[in-house]
Structure 1
Amino acid sequence: MKTGLFCVCKFLVVLPIFFTMQTPALADDLIEIGFVAGLTGGSAQIGKDEENGARLAVEEINKQGLLIGGEKVVLAFDAQDDAADPRTATQVAQKLVDDKVVAVIGHQTSGTSIPASKIYSDAGIVQISPGATNPAYTKQCFKTTYRVVATDAQQGPALANYAKQQGVKTVAIVDDATAYGQGLASDFENRAKAIGIKVLSHDATNDKAVDFRAILTKIKGENPDAIMYGGMDATGGPLAKQAGQLGLRARVLAGDGVCSDGLSTLAGAATDNVVCSEAGMALEKMPGGDAFEAKYEARFHQPIQVYAPFSYDAVYIIVDAMKRANSTAPAKILAEMPSTDYKGVTGETTFDSKGDLKHGAISLYGFKNGKRTLLDVIRM
């Protein structure tokens, strides 16, 4: 039975018109779209990438012109920083509710998306995460909760299956004790054991750690074929680098939090010893990937990190729901979300009853001279 009742608020957003380079000067309705990610801290580069993707969509929609219910609508982009901190995430979520946003793109991580989701559920505001992969995020059965990426229940086993195919017989696991890192590591461990990979140890660190030598020295004595790390690139990069410095022969396996184009800055030459996954289709395999990449780089003068295409599509999915509802009221937008069938940059998006993708994909990458190279795409 589905649980997670929420309050539905019906209201008309009437706010003063303000001027920006991207927003037309005159409009009948100014409608706020919320966005949240860690824009400061260790994973800021990934958070900023997601912000850029969503911002690009808002700018495009405003430039094209948007009519809802026969009225001209201009989108305002309310971007907030939760610093990838769960407590800050709930404070920011409440601020966006108080700001009367009609929907939220975010949060960036599972550890922030999960606690914030209760606040959006209580307010009846749609939340679409472009990066939260822990299955617990949608298992709460909130009717407001969606994501546009695959889950760790798919990503962890995909990494384990790849390891098995590559002849890995023994593995040591390390996670950063966050909802994301711990969940990914556990899903990897369960699958690894099921397919005959021996798990030698499972250690926990934290998402602020910079020195992994004690854990790695212990792991060196275990002599595993691979080290699986559940965490973000800000910690996964130094872990891989220090493993190389200590002379470990093990390959490093990691998830989407580590799988950024900026990993080489953090891991140095050890980057080429990393295999990582993304909980979505590879950019070069996306139907609109090439065109989006060109637009993104022209607008922001930097390469895409990981999930900009997903936050971009998330904005368009919200606007698609507005058009189908013929309304910008949060309750009307929410009512249209289950019937979403949107074809965007990342492909076709349809949701199951929990708000997960019906047809997700996992992309596996290696690195060559510090540059990501696609190894395989696994359709779920």
Structure 2
Amino acid sequence: MLRPSLCLASLVCVLAGTWLPQAQAADTQVVRIGLTGPLTGAQAAIGKDDENGLRMAVDRINAQNVMVGAQRVRFELVSEDDAADPRTGMAVAQRLVDAEVKVVFGPFNSGVAIPISRLLDQAGVVMATVASNPSITQSGLPYVFRISANDSQLGKRMGEFAAGRLHARRFAVIDDRTAYGQGVADEFVKAAKAAGIEIVAREFTSDKAVDFVPILTRIRGMNVDGVFYGGYYAQAGPLRNQMKRLAMTQLYLLGGDAMCNIELAKLGGESVDERVYCPQGGPVLEQTPLGRQFKADYRKRFNADPLTYSASLYDGLHLLVQAMQAANSTDPKRYRASLAAIDAQGVAGRYRFDDHRDLRDSPITVYTYRNGAQVPLPQDK
């Protein structure tokens, strides 16, 4: 457990800039932290959002003269573009290991996270990912942590939502064959079937697809209530637009967290409406003081609103600092156990890890879209 002087069970002291004073050290240790994510290509908006959240945390923590043991530390971000590609991701991960980073945040994509997790674990480097495929943390790799909800939680939530809130009886499912898309679709199917929904079609595409008309044409005659899409916003927007062209907007479109941001509305236009639903892990930022402050600071710095996981990455570095301070070391071999035992409240929720280093507490908010804006639904009572 963390010492009380390190603000046990809360990151409020960090967010407010009120670290307890400690003796100044003569030397400053530079601690490199890595980020891997899709900084270019179709998913660049989400990759930059992750990077923005981490940069905010680096700058805030560095301004506070943080101490680890008797030495002041300064964090330096090494940001790499994995292009949402597993092969590129492996090369990026090796570069980060060679740069002697003390942690790697990311990646966003499960297809990248699965192969690099073993490389980083073997190198003794902590990985704190937001990628959601359950297998990432179920492989028993002690240096791999997930700081957001997983597909089992997200897919299950949407399957239960389709049955309980939408009273749907028949659904078609499309996934993009990525580790993420297939994983979240599988979990939706499992929960939907358990809730009495008939899955009448399971279709496949790719995360590079632009034409969904043949698939949608097949689905159109199946008398379904909706379509679940396992994939990313870059394809979900055009998918919904093509549903509109085929006069299918009376059908619901559901998906996972990777399509759940304002970029979906930008890509899909007016077709992204109140019959589109998707989940995000964590509370609604506007509904908590920490969330409101984070959103205001983000908007002031980047002239845009945060998307899906910038708050989680922001929290992630603060968690890392607490773990390092508890262990009196920046060495992953020494602070890893402190991170696994952490109990802290951050912007995006409460952070406590189970035996797989998944979050024990993963509140999930379902969103819809209204007049081009993303709108959270009231929680079920």
Taking the aligned partners of 1:377 and 1:150, their CA distance within structure 2 comes to: 17
Q: TM-score, normalised by structure 1?
A: 0.90
- SS of the counterpart of 1:117? helix
Say whether 1:270 aligns with 2:271.
yes
Take 2:282 and 2:33, find their aligned partners in 1: how far apart are those partners? 24
Q: Write out per-residue CA displacement over residues 83-136 of structure 1, whole angstroms, 9 at most, x where no aligned residue.
A: 11111111111111111001111111111111110011001111111x211111
- Residues 285-316 of structure 1: CA deviation (Å, up to 9, x unaligned): 44510011111111111111111100000111
2:77 is aligned to 77
Given the alignment of the two structures, is residue 52 of structure 1 paired with residue 52 of structure 2, yes or no? yes
Answer whether contact 2:282 2:349 (CA < 8 A) is retained.
Answer: no
Change (3 A) 1:45 1:378: farther
Question: Is 1:261–2:262 an aligned residue pair?
Answer: yes
**Do structure 1's residue 28 and structure 2's residue 28 form an aligned pair?**
yes
Aligned residues: 353
d(CA) in 2 for partners of 1:219, 1:27: 65
1:163-174 counterparts in 2 under 5 A?
163-165=162-164, 166-174=166-174
2:214 is matched with 214
CA–CA distance in structure 1, aligned partners of residues 319 and 44 of structure 2: 25
Aligned partner of 2:314 among 302, 307, 312: 312
Q: Which amino acid aligns with 2:311?
A: P
CA distance in 1, matches of 2:219, 2:158: 20
Aligned-partner Cα distance in 1 for 2:287–2:121: 34
Residue 288 of structure 1 aligns to a residue whose secondary structure is helix
Partner of 1:185: 185
Q: Which amino acid aligns with 2:135?
A: A
* Alignment partners' CA distance in 1, 2:126 and 2:63: 24
1:353 maps to 2:355: yes
* Residues 25-59 of structure 1: CA deviation (Å, up to 9, x unaligned): x9621110111111111111011101100110000
TM-score (normalizing by structure 2): 0.90
Q: What residue is the counterpart of 1:8 in the other structure?
A: none
1:362 aligned to 2:361? no
CA positional deviation for 1:377 = 4.2
Which residue identity is paired with 1:334? R
- RMSD of equivalent CA atoms: 1.4
- Determine the C-alpha separation between the residues in 2 that align with 1:317 and 1:98: 24
Contact conserved, 1:170 with 1:197, CA < 8 A, in 2? Answer: yes
Name the residue aligned to 1:7: none
Give the structure 1 partner of residue 226 of structure 2: 226
Tell me, yes or no, if structure 1 residue 330 matches structure 2 residue 327.
no
State the 1:364 CA deviation.
0.3
2-structure distance, mates of 1:212, 1:107: 27
Q: Deviations over 1:166-211 (max 9, x none)?
A: 1211100000000000000011011111111111100010000011
Say whether the 8 Å CA contact 2:50–2:310 is kept in structure 1.
yes
Is the 2:343–2:352 Cα contact (8 Å) retained in structure 1?
A: yes
Equivalence for 2:375: 373
Q: Is 1:281–1:377's contact at 8 Å kept on the other side of the alignment?
A: no
The residue correspondences of 1:103-118 to structure 2 (distance < 5 A) are 103-118=103-118
User: Structure 1: which 5+ runs fail to align?
Assistant: 1-25
**Identical columns (%):** 40
Alignment check: 8 A CA contact 1:223 1:250 kept: no
Separation in structure 2 between the aligned mates of residue 355 and residue 109 of structure 1, nearest angstrom: 18
Amino acid at match of 1:260: N
Give the letter for the 1:84 counterpart. A
**Which runs of 5 or more structure 2 residues have no equivalent in the other structure?**
1-25
| Paired residue type of 1:228 | F
Q: Secondary structure at the match of 2:292?
A: helix
What code does the residue aligned with 2:147 have? V
Q: Secondary structure at the match of 1:157?
A: helix
Q: How far apart are the structure 1 equivalents of 2:225 and 2:258? A: 22
Q: In the alignment, what sits opposite 1:68?
A: 68
Query: Does the 8 Å contact 2:170/2:224 carry over to 1?
Result: yes
Give runs of aligned pairs for residues 86-235 of structure 1, distance below 5 A: 86-129=86-129, 131-165=130-164, 166-235=166-235
